[in-house]
Amino acid sequence: MDIETFRDHCLALPGTTEGMKWDHLCFMLEEKIFVLVLLEDGHFCMKCNPEEFDALAARPGIRQAPHFARRQWIEVEGLEVMPDQELLKRVKESRELVLIKLSKKLQQKYA
């Protein structure tokens, strides 16, 4: 998958906006980041289910995302680290993990 296809997928998720924070491309829901892309090296960070963190972090090319909540965010060394279908599924799950932290009113807006 290339970065443009990845970007299009992120932006296709309901309510997603993109912006720049800390010189990184961010995909957000209600200004809450669910994917952060490090443009200089192609790495990206996303939320993950804490119960899956250990299994994900044990895989080559995946580790704890620096500066993010411990065991809740992973850094992936590139789009080729995961099969495309898994990558798209995990982006959607990352957004869902952000969504469930929003107010009930905002959750209904995106249901």
Question: What domain range includes position 84?
Answer: 3-109
pLDDT tens by residue, 11-24: 999 999 999 988 88
**Residue type, position 31, single letter:** E
For tokens 């209904």, name the residue.
108
Average pLDDT (56-72) is: 91
CATH number of the domain encompassing residue 53: 3.90.1150.30
Q: What is the pTM of this model?
A: 0.90
Q: Please count the structural domains in the chain.
A: 1
Angle at 74 between CA 77 and CA 55, to 5 degrees: 100
pLDDT tens by residue, 65-100: 988 888 899 999 989 999 999 999 999 999 999 999
